[in-house]
């Protein structure tokens, strides 16, 4: 092993050891609460990062978060063969008109709620509200327009709200297995 | 709506106990090295099989397609054929002067496309091979292939590039370089990028020079032709009215192209002269991709116009965003410093809910979806990204129906004005459509659509003052407008557009 490669391994190992706990949390949410899928997702992304390590400019953690979100979204694209950019099935066209009160989400509800969202929409919600990225940053990470981020955020929140209603059409989803478990 | 603070807290709480495996770093590095070994094995086998390629009259058998099937595995590159071991094709293959000049150009200008500046590590490169040299309507052209291993990367790949005359100075230049994906490669070059040259792939390639748009309905279709190679080369001169951005190639039989298939098997990239422009000035590349939309110079990122103005919700989406931004004032947050020195903050002022403004986004989505489902959007174009303008005119018609009017981009030159009429307030069903023709960013009236059932004209001239009249010499009538959008009666024949700098009168053509 060359000296350069040794430094490379040391730096990368240091990054994985110190930042993987935080990245695993993002991966867990992106995987809809499936811990095994989250570990697979994180390992997949880190393995792809390793050979590129010397050429990653800026924050490696930001790079990893972007890669996690895109890999999760693309995994959905590959698996479900749906088109990108806010495709709506006819059954999903009910107006997103809510009551005036705001629904409160609890920790035991959040994973199945996220699992009920399409992965791209889920990625937008996780990046916005867990990783605290701005709409512009989310758009840059996912390679879409700010308008798409706005509409996906709004629609994602509305759908979660709908699923939280005890008699709502999405209520049953709260008891289903996480998205990753359905693969 | 969901309480966002509780959402944040729930996500933090549910992930608090997660711990990665203790040996994750070792597993990751081990996995990455295993990937590298797989790639190298694949590469060696591919080269060995490529040597067994059979050349028959310029057409290649593709026996090495089984390479990936045999090796399989994630990350294995799709190897369809090797261009290195085939004789140079084309009528200029033996023209030593041209071949020499083209080879020098390839060697000298390739670093420009690889983003390599003098003195920096260029990585590894194999020997270039001249795949084709031929006469074209836009002058002599050559296609080269060369293997490239980027610095610090364990993955190498083959680059295919076109050397031909640039219309700008008439000299030979490297115009486009693309990674060989094993599907064939197509280039557009020459005056206005109208000469198509390329190498066939293992599957038949089909070409469409652009969408055809029905003048009365706005419905979009594409005509396709199969690209048949002659002597191993594809060469075509495209029609004078074609535009490089509208040209699409696909391997799938076009009649079967549906959104799901497009996602799985995306169209083939057709490289244009913009490749060189982007290599010379990467910052300019972002301006190539989008057609000019009506809202290019507007102040708001998402704009919703209401007609009549009285039907506007209490707060529009744009206003709600501004209100939420105001809530980010430090006065609305309480922060505490924790034991470990970190600061945690919570917003102490809840954001009010504005369901009406959420509806605007729904309307925009539904309008886009209705145009798509009814064949008024070019699905091929749709695949490549956003194709709907970021504004919407929302009209409450006299019979109670809702009409939405927006701009759909199907061609690069301009957008198209479309109206979608929904049956009721719940927007459950699309009732009708109306087509307003191309949008006109530089004209006094930028968009006009005649609504069905004599419900009137929707006209838009952003931030202009509008009046109309019902006979060419009649009196001008005032009209209520929302930032330059207005609903005129069906009898209107002219509209007067006034803005700083002058007034124009525009005929409303039925």
> What is the per-residue DSSP string for B18-31?
----TTHHHHHHHH
Domain-embedded: residue A90: no
Higher pLDDT, A52 or B237: B237
**pLDDT of A50:** 81
B297 to chain A, any CB pair closer than 8 A? The answer is no
Give SS3 for B268: strand
Same domain flag for A75 and A111: no
* Residues on chain B touching A99 (C-beta within 8 angstroms): 355
Nearest by CB: A105 against B7, B390, B427: B7
Cβ–Cβ gap A161/B1 under 8 Å: yes
Hey, are the CB atoms on A148 and B358 less than 8 Å from each other? Answer: no
> Would residue A97 count as lying in a domain?
no
Chain A: residue nearest B372 by CA? A87
pLDDT at B482 over 90: yes
Interatomic CA distance for residues B303 and B307, integer angstroms: 13
Cβ pair B108, B144 in contact under 8 A: no
Domain identity same for A60 and A110: no
pLDDT at B483: 94
Inside any domain, residue A60: yes
Distance CA B183, CA B383 (A): 19
Q: Which residues of B180-189 are buried (b: 16+ CB within 10 A; e: fewer)?
A: bbbbbbbbbb
Contact B6 A104 (CB under 8 A): yes
CA dist B9 and B12 (Å) reads: 5
Q: What is the pLDDT of residues B129-162, one digit of tens each?
A: 999 999 999 999 999 999 988 765 556 788 999 9
Single out the residue in A32, A65, A80 at which a domain terminates.
A80
Closest CA to A59 of A120, A131, A139: A131
Strand ranges (E), B166-260: 172-179, 185-189, 195-199, 205-208, 211-213, 220-222, 225-227, 234-237, 248-250
In a domain, A133, yes or no: yes
Q: d(Cα B233, Cα B186) in Å, to the nearest integer?
A: 10
Confidence class of residue B334 from pLDDT cuts 50, 70 and 90?
Answer: low
Are A177 and A112 found together in one domain? Answer: yes
Q: Which of B18, B317, B365 faces A28 most closely, judged by CB atoms?
A: B18
Residue B320 has pLDDT above 90, yes or no: no
Q: How far apart are CA A115 and CA A123, in angstroms?
A: 11
d(CA A159, CA A116): 9
Residue B258: predicted pLDDT: 56
Question: Which residues on B lie below 8 Å from A39 (Cβ)?
Answer: 20-21
**Within this chain, do residues A177 and A117 fall inside the same structural domain, yes or no?**
yes
* B170 phi-psi bin (left φ>0, alpha ψ -120 to 50, beta other): left
Confidence at B1, pLDDT banded by 50, 70, 90? low
Average pLDDT on B83-105 reads 94
CA distance B53 to chain A (A): 32
B27 contacts A129? CB cut-off 8 A: no
CATH of residue A109: 1.10.10.10
| B274-283 confidence digits (pLDDT tens) | 777 777 765 5
Residue A138 forms part of a structural domain: yes
Average pLDDT taken over every residue of chain B: 78
Residues 6+ apart with CB under 8 A from B442: none
Pairing, β B139-149 against β B124-125: antiparallel
Number of independent structural domains in chain A: 2
Is it the case that residue B462 has pLDDT exceeding 80? yes
Residues A73 and A111 in one domain: no
Provide mean pLDDT across the span B364-375.
83
Examine the fold and report which residue of A80, A114, A140 is the final residue of a domain before the chain moves on. Answer: A80
DSSP per-residue letters across A56-69: --S-HHHHHHHHHH
- Taking only the tens place, the pLDDT of each residue in B16-75 is 888 888 888 888 877 777 665 444 333 332 222 222 222 222 222 222 211 122 222 233
User: Shortest Cα distance from B460 to chain A (angstroms)?
Assistant: 21
Neighbours of B480 (CB within 10 A): 11
pLDDT of A169 higher than 70: no
Q: Flag whether A85 is in a domain.
A: no
* Span A124-137, pLDDT tens digits: 999 999 998 888 78
Contact with chain A for residue B255, Cβ under 8 A = no
Beta carbons of A51 and B36 less than 8 Å apart:
yes
Q: Which residues lie closer than 8 Å to B114 by C-beta, 6 or more apart?
A: B122, B123, B148, B150, B177
Residue B106, C-beta contacts closer than 8 angstroms, at least 6 positions apart: B128, B142, B144, B146, B161, B163, B174
Evaluate if residue B77 carries a pLDDT over 50: no
Which two structure tokens, joined as six digits, stand for B444?
A: 């006094």
* Top-confidence range, B76-90, B285-299, B459-473: B459-473
Residues A111 and A176 in one domain: yes
At residue B257, the pLDDT reads 54
Structure token digits, residue A159: 């759908």
Give the torsion sign (CA, B172, B142, B85, B46). positive
| Owning domain of residue A14 | 3-80
More confident site: A81 or B447:
B447
Interface of B with A in 433-492 (CB under 8 A): none
Q: Is the pLDDT of residue A39 over 60?
A: yes
Question: Average pLDDT in the B284-299 region?
Answer: 64
The mean of the pLDDT values for chain A is 70
From the CA of A72, how many Å to the nearest CA of chain B?
Answer: 16
Question: Residue B394: its pLDDT value, please?
Answer: 96
Domain closes at, from A33, A64, A80: A80
Residue A64 lies in a domain: yes
Cβ neighbours for B192, distance < 8 A, ≥ 6 positions apart: B244
């Amino acid at each position: 092993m060359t000296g350069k490669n040794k430094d490379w391994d040391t730096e990368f190992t240091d990054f994985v050891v110190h930042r993987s706990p935080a990245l695993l949390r993002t991966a867990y949410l992106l995987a809809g609460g499936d811990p095994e899928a989250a570990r697979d997702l994180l390992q997949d992304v880190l393995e792809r990062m390793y050979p590129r390590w010397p050429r990653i400019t800026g924050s490696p953690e930001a790079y990893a978060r972007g890669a996690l979100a895109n890999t999760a979204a693309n995994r959905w694209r590959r698996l479900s063969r749906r088109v990108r950019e806010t495709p709506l099935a006819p059954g999903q066209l009910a107006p997103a008109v809510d009551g005036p009160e705001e629904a409160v989400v609890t920790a035991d509800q959040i994973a199945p709620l996220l699992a009920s969202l399409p992965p791209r929409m889920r990625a937008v919600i996780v990046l916005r509200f867990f990783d605290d990225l701005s709409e512009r940053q989310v758009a840059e990470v996912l390679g879409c327009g700010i308008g798409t981020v706005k509409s996906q955020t709004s629609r994602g929140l509305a759908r979660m709200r709908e699923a939280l209603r005890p008699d709502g059409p999405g209520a049953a989803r709260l008891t289903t297995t996480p998205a990753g478990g359905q693969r | 709506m969901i309480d966002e603070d509780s959402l944040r807290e729930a996500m933090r709480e549910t992930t608090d106990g997660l711990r990665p495996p203790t040996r994750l770093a070792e597993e990751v590095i081990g996995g990455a090295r295993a990937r590298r070994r797989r790639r190298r094995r694949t590469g060696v086998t591919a080269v060995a099989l490529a040597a067994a390629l059979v050349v028959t009259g310029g057409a290649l058998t593709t026996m090495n397609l089984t390479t990936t099937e045999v090796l399989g595995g994630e990350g294995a590159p799709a190897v369809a054929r090797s261009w290195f071991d085939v004789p140079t094709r084309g009528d200029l293959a033996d023209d030593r002067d041209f071949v020499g000049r083209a080879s020098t150009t390839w060697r000298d200008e390739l670093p420009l496309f690889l983003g390599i500046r003098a003195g920096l590590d260029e990585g590894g490169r194999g020997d270039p091979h001249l795949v084709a040299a031929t006469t074209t309507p836009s002058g002599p052209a050559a296609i080269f292939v060369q293997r490239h291993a980027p610095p610090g990367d364990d993955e190498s790949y083959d680059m295919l590039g076109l050397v031909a005359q640039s219309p700008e100075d008439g000299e030979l230049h490297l115009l486009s370089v693309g990674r060989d994906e094993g599907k064939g490669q197509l280039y557009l070059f020459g005056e206005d990028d109208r000469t198509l040259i390329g190498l066939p792939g293992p599957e038949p390639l089909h070409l469409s020079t652009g969408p055809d748009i029905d003048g009365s309905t706005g419905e979009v279709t594409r005509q396709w032709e199969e690209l048949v190679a002659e002597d191993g080369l594809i060469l075509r001169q495209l029609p004078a009215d074609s535009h490089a951005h509208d040209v699409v190639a696909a391997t799938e039989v076009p009649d079967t192209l549906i959104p799901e298939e497009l996602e799985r098997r995306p169209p083939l990239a057709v490289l244009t002269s913009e490749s060189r422009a982007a290599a010379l000035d990467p910052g300019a590349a972002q301006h190539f991709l989008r057609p000019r939309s009506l809202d290019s110079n507007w102040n708001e990122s998402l704009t919703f116009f209401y007609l009549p103005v009285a039907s506007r919700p209490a707060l529009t989406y744009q206003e709600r965003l501004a209100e939420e931004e105001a809530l980010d004032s430090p006065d609305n947050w309480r922060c505490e410093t924790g034991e470990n020195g970190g600061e945690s903050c919570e917003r102490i002022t809840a954001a009010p809910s504005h369901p009406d403004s959420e509806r605007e986004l729904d309307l925009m989505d539904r309008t886009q979806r209705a145009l798509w489902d009814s064949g008024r959007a070019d699905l091929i174009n749709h695949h490549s990204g956003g194709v709907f303008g970021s504004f919407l005119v929302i009209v409450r018609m006299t019979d109670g129906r809702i009409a939405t009017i927006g701009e759909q981009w199907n061609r690069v030159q301009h957008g198209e004005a479309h109206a979608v009429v929904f049956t009721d307030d719940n927007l459950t069903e699309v009732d009708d459509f109306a087509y307003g023709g191309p949008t006109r960013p530089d004209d006094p009236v930028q968009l006009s659509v005649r609504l069905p059932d004599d419900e009137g004209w929707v006209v838009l001239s952003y931030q202009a003052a509008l009046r109309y009249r019902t006979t060419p010499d009649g009196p001008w009538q005032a009209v209520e407008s929302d930032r330059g959008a207005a609903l005129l009666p069906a009898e209107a024949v002219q509209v007067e557009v006034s803005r700083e700098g002058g007034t124009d009168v525009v005929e409303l053509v039925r």
